Amino acid sequence: MSRQNLRVVSYNVHKGYSPRRGVTVHGLRDTLHALGGDLIFLQEVQGLSHRRAARHRDWPSSPQHEFLADTLWQDFAYGRNAVYDDGHHGNAILSRFPIVGWENEDISQSRLERRGLLHCEISIPGWAHPLHCINVHLGLFAHWRRRQLEHLRSRIADHVPASAPVIVAGDFNDWSQRAGLLLTKVLGLDEVFETLHGRPARSFPARLPLLHLDRIYTRGFSIAAAEVHFGHGAARVSDHAALTADLVPSP
């Protein structure tokens, strides 16, 4: 495997909209450019909203994941999870490298809360195996999250070779910090903030984070750095803080 390092970003973007501030997707694009990731895991991406497009002149004409990808990320995948009369939203992965395969698996536990696992295989020059990236946004209730984590366990066991590198990132809604046991003990993944700082990151609310909702898990990497990007400016574009991790592939 090549020694090319990767920067990963995980960000719940709150549909690029704030009831108080209006359209925030332009600020989100600027934020992503500044963070400079190679792989971007986005949750709550608004693929289509007829209502907001009609009400706001500055609403992008292209799907939100395409608008955010801009010219920096040559490839992207979007998993449509929640579909309604006005449009749809879901998870997206933006990549500087070719996405050679992807699938969005429905893990919804209720008609009222639609969720999915967006799984991409990414080809990185010089790497012996494709990189497997799984973007998650888990449910609000603990019993839903337990079932969704079992879907994630099965997904990795059935579709990811044991020798392949893996990144699982997203909004776990796991303020009780129980998800990590399955991911670390059963699947052998390392959470980047736990590895470097002893506990998951505080990522919500973005202005002054208190809750440990967002995570980045890896296998086949060492972690060089991990950071939470929060504060007044971050709160202007989303209710979650962005997470970044700098990863070094294992030899």
> Has residue 79 been placed in a domain?
yes
Q: Say if residue 2's pLDDT is above 70.
A: no
| Mean pLDDT rounded to a whole number for the chain | 94
pTM of the model: 0.96
What is the span of the domain harbouring residue 40?
6-249
Phi, psi of 142 (to 5 degrees): -60, -40
As a whole number of angstroms, the distance between CA 172 and CA 215 comes to 7
Average pLDDT for residues 16-23, to the nearest whole number? 92
**How confident is the model over 103-158, as pLDDT tens digits?**
999 999 998 899 999 999 999 999 999 999 999 999 999 899 999 999 999 999 99
Domain count, the chain: 1
So what's the pLDDT on residue 1?
39
> Has residue 25 been placed in a domain?
yes
> Has residue 1 been placed in a domain?
no
> Has residue 33 been placed in a domain?
yes
Average pLDDT for residues 223-239, to the nearest whole number? 95
> Has residue 39 been placed in a domain?
yes
CATH number at residue 149: 3.60.10.10
As a whole number of angstroms, the distance between CA 152 and CA 146 comes to 10
**How confident is the model over 160-197, as pLDDT tens digits?**
999 999 999 999 998 877 777 788 888 889 999 999 99
